[in-house]
Structure 1
Amino acid sequence: MKKETTFNEIVRKVRKDTFGKGPERIHTTFVDNMAITKMWGNFTPTEKFIALTSEGKEMVHRARTQMVQGLYDQHVPDGMEELCGSKLQHLFTDIKVEDDFAISVFVFEKNIEQG
């Protein structure tokens, strides 16, 4: 299995286990010491309903960004560092609520592009 496919499955599982739904479509690109993951179709029906108001939109955004970053701060998902052959140092993540599109940039200690 390709490294990107395995990485996508790890990311999808974390989000599915946390929010009850993983992204419908996910694509990862490895560049230098980063894995850049784009995700479409992230929200549950409940999140979509909550996001109909501006307060709800902000709440969904905060949950989907801060919660995910907090999870990775507490525990790097099983298999991620082994797959990449490097230690995860930082995760930057954001989501555009209107488009149900998220992006995460995983920054590793050393170059992970090869392999």
Structure 2
Amino acid sequence: MRKEQAFNDIVRRVRKDYFGKGPERVHTVFVDNMAVSILHGNLTPVEKFISHTPEGAEMVRAARTKLIQDVYREHVPDGMEELVGSKLLYLFSDFKVEDDMGVSVFIFEDPIDGRG
């Protein structure tokens, strides 16, 4: 299995475990010491309902962004650091509710060898 696909599987599993639904599509690229993941099709039916107003959409965005950053801060997902061969230092993430799209930038200590 390619390293990007294995990384996508970890990202998808974490989202599914914490939100009850994982993204329908994940695309990850490795650049130097970063893994940049684009996630499509993330919202649960309840989140879609809540986000019909601007206030609701902002609440969903803020909750998703904070929760996922807290999850990774408290515990790096099993297998992630072993897969890329480096320690996770930071996670930056944001979510565009209107497009049901998220982005996460994982910054590791060492460059990631994208082959494998």
Query: If the length of structure 1 is used for normalisation, what is the TM-score?
Result: 0.98
For this pair of structures, how many residues does the alignment match?
Answer: 115
Q: What SS is found at the alignment partner of 1:106?
A: strand
Report deviation, 1:113. 3.2
Amino acid in the other structure paired with 2:83? L
1:114: Cα distance to partner?
4.0
Q: What root-mean-square deviation, in Å, do the aligned CA atoms of Structure 1 and Structure 2 show?
A: 0.7
Please state how far the C-alpha of 1:14 moved relative to its aligned partner.
Answer: 0.3
In the alignment, structure 2 segments of 5+ residues that lack a partner are none
Aligned to 1:90: 90
Deviations 1:31-69 (A, max 9, x none): 000000001000001000000011211110011100000
Structure 2 match to 1:78: 78
Superposed CA deviations along residues 75-100 of structure 1, whole A, max 9, x for unmatched, are: 00000000000000000000101000
1:65 pairs with 2:65: yes
CA–CA separation in structure 2 for the residues paired with 1:59 and 1:44: 14
TM normalised by structure 2 equals 0.97
Instruction: Report what 1:8 is aligned to.
Output: 8
Partner of 2:48: 48
Matched residue, 1:106: 106
Quote the Cα distance in structure 2 between the aligned partners of 1:60 and 1:66: 10
Structure 1 gaps of 5+ residues are none
